[in-house]
Amino acid sequence: AQTVTQSQPEMSVQEAETVTLSCTYDTSESNYYLFWYKQPPSRQMILVIRQEAYKQQNATENRFSVNFQKAAKSFSLKISDSQLGDTAMYFCAFMKHGYGGSQGNLIFGKGTKLSVKP
Amino acid sequence: KAGVTQTPRYLIKTRGQQVTLSCSPISGHRSVSWYQQTPGQGLQFLFEYFSETQRNKGNFPGRFSGRQFSNSRSEMNVSTLELGDSALYLCASSNVVYEQYFGPGTRLTVT
C-alpha cells in the first residue's frame, strides 16, 4: 500500500520570502504521479503542480517548483516570493498509473498549514 | 471552460436518513472520483467512475454508493446516515492527463 507523509503540520513565512514544504512517500510502484494541492479557507482544492515519476526534470509552475528525489522518495514544494494569497493548507498526493481508462485514486498526506505573514 | 460543479453545497440530515450528492465534471472529462474529507481522517478516496463503470473503490462500507450517467455526471448516495458521515465530500474530474480537478465540495452535517 502507498503512503504519503507530510512531517510539518504548520509553517509560516514572511511575505516575499521562500518556503519549502516537505513530503515523503512510500510505494513499490515504478510508474506513478505526484501532486501538490492547495486548499485555501474557501475549501476549494486547487492543483498546484504535478510531477511524473519517469521524468527526472523537476516540475515548475511560476513561483512553485518541486524537488523530486525518486530514490529517496521525497517530493518537496518550494514557493518563491510568497504572497498573502498563498496562505492555505497544502496537500501532497500520490497516484499510481492506472489502466483500462482508470485514473486511479489520489492518496493524500495529512497536509501542511502554511501562513504567509505581511 | 466551466469547472467541476457540486450540488448541493450544504446539507443537514438526521441520523438514519439517506442523502444523494451530485457532481458535474468539466466538459470532456470522463472520469469522476469522490473523496471524503474529515478533520480526523483527512482526505480519503471513496470511488472512481469512468464510462459509467465503477473502476476503483476505497475502503468504505456498502452504505456508500455511486453511479455515473452517460453524460459523465455522477451521483453518490449514502444510506442510513451516521454522525461520523459528517464531512466535506469532494468530487474530482479528470481527463487522460492524470490531473484531477476538484469541485467546491458538499458540506454534509448529520445530526
A68 burial (CB, 10 Å; 0-12 / 13-18 / 19+) is: buried
Q: Let me know if A30 is exposed, middle or buried by CB neighbors in 10 A (0-12, 13-18, 19+).
A: exposed
pLDDT band at residue A101 using 50, 70 and 90 as cut-offs: low
Nearest to B51 among A101, A108, A111 (CB): A101
A100 pLDDT above the threshold of 70 = no
User: What amino acid is encoded at B4 in this protein?
Assistant: V
Instruction: Look at residue A103 and tell me whether its pLDDT is greater than 90.
Output: no
Q: Which residues of A touch B107 (CB under 8 A)?
A: 43
Task: Return the residue in B31, B32, B43 with the most chain A beta carbons within 10 A, the one to mutate for interface testing.
Answer: B43
What's residue B77's pLDDT? 98
Which residue is listed with cell 475502503? B59
B55·A101 Cβ contact <8 A: yes
A23 near A14, Cβ under 8 Å? Answer: no
pLDDT at A61: 94
Q: Chain A within 8 Å of B33 (Cβ-Cβ)? A: yes
Specify the pLDDT at position B56. 87
Lowest mean pLDDT among A19-33, A46-60, A93-107, B72-86: A93-107
C-alpha cell at B77: 448516495
Spans of chain B below 70 pLDDT? 96-97
Nearest to A83 by CA among A1, A14, A23, A4: A14
Q: What pLDDT, on the 0 to 100 scale, is given for residue A105?
A: 86
Contact A88, A103 (CB under 8 A): no
For A36-51, what is each residue's pLDDT tens digit?
Answer: 999 999 889 999 999 9
